[in-house]
Structure 1
């Protein structure tokens, strides 16, 4: 009995999830601003640096969650769910950073309307992820459970929107008579941006599973 009382319990997993979610939203907003002000090299560099900063902060939280898993005997969620959730959340910021780097490394000169649309959808997905994660500590409340499931559904719809924009963008890309090098650049950028919403959907699926198991 005494042994059970001395075992490390709970940890601050929900707080860490919530903090990571905030960095996801910050990184997404910085990325969207970078795309919006892409023609201004100074602002582009500033917002790209903001994306990098958010990714580094989130990496530290991911490492802390994995470290805490090894120290905590009784966790508020299944261990695999905790590990999967934080790693999938980290994938989102990794892709935001990768997308920023691809645009820079490929020396993309201008951004198309499709890049703007995909960036906007990605940012909305990230904001929804942050909201869904913030609800996890309060799942005992039926209204919160309903709100979490609704938010996951919104992420799924946004991911479908990104798929449609991606298909349309690719169709125009191969239909229009543009330079082959530019085609390769834009194709890579489109694929990276669409993948952001995919990773958000991965997080939504994990949260939905958590909600259904705990409701």
Structure 2
């Protein structure tokens, strides 16, 4: 009789980070070809990604509750899983914010921000992929550093973007809307950095 297949937590975490990357790719695609007529459809598509990520996270936690000896500490698995989930949530929040405020036209500099978020999620994905091999990985440290660099790039985009908003404000509502959108964009990069920092902490604890 074949033995029971062991649940692969590293693969599960990678699956969660894949949802984050899919969300970031959808955000960039939506912003780069922004159409009000299809926005609700894109928001639903984004929500489906986020909902699938939630189901996958809960499935992983159910396995973890019953696990006798996980590959790394339970608290670390739960923490990094939640932080990856926070990335997906943060990306969804951007699109929901744009829809909620009935945005009709995208500021051109927003596309650069979505490109940075996508790059951040790609580096995070590789970092999670390499976590399985953290004792011998030649990529892991470089990806953590890259996420940190991209988060700093996101900070600069946020500061400069909001600064430009307030240089010559003409519409108070427009100002409020884009200040909030910028805040949510910046939160995406912060969430990716949280994952990278957690991965770095796990490596230190287990080395």
- Shorter-chain TM-score range: over 0.9
> Root-mean-square deviation (CA), in Å?
1.7
Aligned counterpart in structure 2 of residue 65 of structure 1, from 57, 60, 63: 60
Query: Deviation at 1:205?
Result: 0.2
Aligned pairs (5 A) from 1:7-156: 11-39=7-35, 41-42=37-38, 44-141=39-136, 144=137, 146-156=138-148
Which consecutive residues of structure 1, in runs of 5 or more, have no partner in the other structure? Answer: 1-7
Query: Deviation at 1:214?
Result: 2.9
2:153 and 2:169 map into 1 onto residues whose CA distance is 26
Contact residue 9 and residue 74 of structure 1 kept, 8 A: no
Q: Which has the higher helix share?
A: 1
Query: Deviation at 1:50?
Result: 2.6
2:204 and 2:5 map into 1 onto residues whose CA distance is 23
Distance change in 2, residues 1:207/1:9 (3 Å): farther
Find the counterpart in structure 1 of residue 206 from structure 2: 214
Query: Deviation at 1:10?
Result: 6.4
Contact residue 54 and residue 85 of structure 2 kept, 8 A: yes
Contact residue 129 and residue 203 of structure 1 kept, 8 A: yes
TM-score by length of 2: 0.92
Contact residue 36 and residue 104 of structure 2 kept, 8 A: no
1:10 and 1:191 map into 2 onto residues whose CA distance is 41
2:184 and 2:5 map into 1 onto residues whose CA distance is 39
2:32 and 2:44 map into 1 onto residues whose CA distance is 15
Query: Deviation at 1:68?
Result: 1.7
For residues 61-104 of structure 1, the C-alpha deviation after alignment (integer angstroms, 9 at most, x for no partner) is: 11112212211121111111111100000001111111111100
Consecutive aligned runs of 4 or more in structure 1 exceeding 6 Å deviation: none
TM-score by length of 1: 0.89
